[in-house]
Structure 1
Amino acid sequence: MLRVALRPRFLGMLALMIVATLVCGLLATWQWDRAHQVITDQAAEPAQLGDLRGVLAVGDPVTNEIAGEIVTVTGSFVPGEQVIVPGRNIGGTPAVLVISSLLVDQGDGTRARLPVARGWLPAAEVTDADGRITPALVPAAPQGEIEISGQLEASEAASGGVDGGVAPEIATPMLVNEWGSPMYSGYVSLAEPSGTLRTLPEAESDFSRGLNWQNIGYSFQWVAFGGFFLFLWWRSVRATHLDEVADRREAMQKLLGEDDSLPTRSPAVVTTTAPPSDKDV
């Protein structure tokens, strides 16, 4: 099989496969470094990015590079535009999150809504006598112009709609249907809640939770692709070698079969004439 592998055609194919494998290795390294960079960024203290309007435009997605970082923004809460998100567990306590709508002035004179996670409350504090979560028991947002500071987070995935001021997730696609547009695609989690609200732990969007494993998975996939290219070359060499061995065997069997079919000559019978005896004379 070595003679087959050293043929110019297969040597050229091997060179191409090695180049493809090296490219896969570089891509795998890049994905691995990116995954570890994300882990490093998440382990570091949140960066101060400044005014939200200089960080994120209305409608733009909250990318992993800015998710979890600190932003500031000035605006005014809209009376009546508030929802609560039950079903959370914070430090072992059943909790509800309080989300309010903040109007933010834009540079072109328009105003856009920004969902703000103002904090959380134990579910028992917003549950009525019948055991139902009641949004009316949640403190209203402060009025007037206010400057807030908090972590910028990506929207959670929407799986339902708002029902009576109760939402299943902090999802801007769902909130825009409830409050109107234009609206920022992410939300801000306040660093210092007001009143009786408690500080939310660091939020984790589906995007930031899944990115590390996604990049690590991609790196393993590229390694597998590189190994597949080399396996494909070996498989081609082996298949060619086996085909040639089979052809030689078939030719040999055919040759031996032709030799067996040749007619055989029987040994010549030699007859001798005996000299006449005395009786014949």
Structure 2
Amino acid sequence: MYRFLLTPRWWGINVFVLLAIPFCVFMGSWQLSRFEARVQDHRTAGELAEKAEHEAARPLAELLPVDKATSGRQATASGRYGKQLLVPGRELDDRQGFYVLTLLHTDDGKALPVVRGWLPGDADRAEAPAAPTGEVTVTGALQASEVPGENGVPARGGLPSGQTGAISAATLVNLVPYDVYDAWITLDKADSGMKPVPATAASDTGLDLKAFQNLGYTGEWFVFAGFVVFMWFRLLRREVETLRDAELGLLPDGEPSEGPAAQEKANA
């Protein structure tokens, strides 16, 4: 009765099923591993943030380049403040305002972007406090360069002179005539009249939408695998029932006499 499984049509169906099921299981397992990796990154980021609160600040050069392990760590650098910029469209305590960003010229010949604090209001009208003069040493949380349009960073263009939409070396090199570190720090204690800007977690370390997309894709791939098995059994059952009906002469009038079931009947 099951000799129809050896027909070319069913060979094609069987090969498809044998390839589709492991592929779906593999893709589902891979998506699950991506979700688990993001959960682990989130846990690790939390542990590093807690550890950073209690550890001594380290020289900036020891923590570069910024990665998931060094983002949020306490860094210290010395130099003289130079050009000051405003970073509009930044929210703190559910209020809109702007960061006060000042470039610190270090002995290495490069400038370090330093967020000295946050002020509420309109960046076009506000007058930010001037930076301290002379040699200074700053301490704050190390941060990776921002990417416009990601992690809440506005993707704004056409800003007035003296403003920047993102704190990144790629953006700042177009505004100043000297090299800029591919990193920045936010002061633990904001300068007078401003609120400190809290450090943010490194990118791709939180349980964000991407993480739950991975979890959703995991379920979809396993559902696909189950659907393939279900359809195979359904086709098999339909073929067997058709064959039995043909043997009993129960095929409706006008039904084609060709096909696996009819061939099976003819060979009987």
User: What is the TM-score of this pair, normalised by structure 2?
Assistant: 0.67
Identity of aligned residues (%): 24
Change (3 A) 1:43 1:4: farther
- Return the match for 1:82 from 75, 81, 84: 84
> How far, CA to CA, are the matches of 1:118 and 1:196 in structure 2?
10
Paired amino acid for 2:73? E
- Alpha-carbon deviation of 1:93? 4.7
Contact 2:42 2:207 in 1 (8 A): no
CA RMSD of aligned residues (A): 4.2
CA offsets 1:148-182 (integer angstroms, 9 cap, x no match):
22112231414214412133443443322111453
Matching of residue 96 in structure 1 with residue 86 in structure 2: no
The alignment covers a number of residue pairs equal to 238
CA offsets 1:49-73 (integer angstroms, 9 cap, x no match):
733323223xxxx444433332222
Paired amino acid for 1:177? N
- Counterpart in 2 of 1:266? none
Matching of residue 31 in structure 1 with residue 45 in structure 2: no
Matching of residue 177 in structure 1 with residue 181 in structure 2: no
- Alpha-carbon deviation of 1:120? 1.8
Q: Secondary structure at the match of 2:106?
A: strand
CA offsets 1:119-164 (integer angstroms, 9 cap, x no match):
123438x7xxxxx514xx3222223343322112231414214412
- Counterpart in 1 of 2:211? 215
Change (3 A) 1:75 1:53: same
Q: Secondary structure at the match of 2:174?
A: helix
- Counterpart in 1 of 2:64? 56
Q: Secondary structure at the match of 1:178?
A: coil
Paired amino acid for 1:228? F
Q: Secondary structure at the match of 2:175?
A: helix
Change (3 A) 1:75 1:237: farther
CA offsets 1:20-76 (integer angstroms, 9 cap, x no match):
45544543442332232233234441525733323223xxxx444433332222333
- Counterpart in 2 of 1:129? none
User: What is the TM-score of this pair, normalised by structure 1?
Assistant: 0.64
What does 1:1-281 align with in structure 2 at a 5 Å threshold? Answer: 19-20=22-23, 22-24=25-27, 26-44=29-47, 45-47=50-52, 48=55, 50-57=58-65, 62-78=66-82, 81-106=83-108, 111-123=109-121, 132-134=124-126, 137-154=127-144, 155-157=146-148, 158-203=155-200, 207=203, 212-243=208-239, 245-246=241-242, 252=249
Q: Which blocks of at least 5 consecutive residues in structure 1 are unaligned?
A: 127-131, 258-281
Contact 1:74 1:146 in 2 (8 A): yes
- Alpha-carbon deviation of 1:101? 1.1
Q: Secondary structure at the match of 2:173?
A: helix
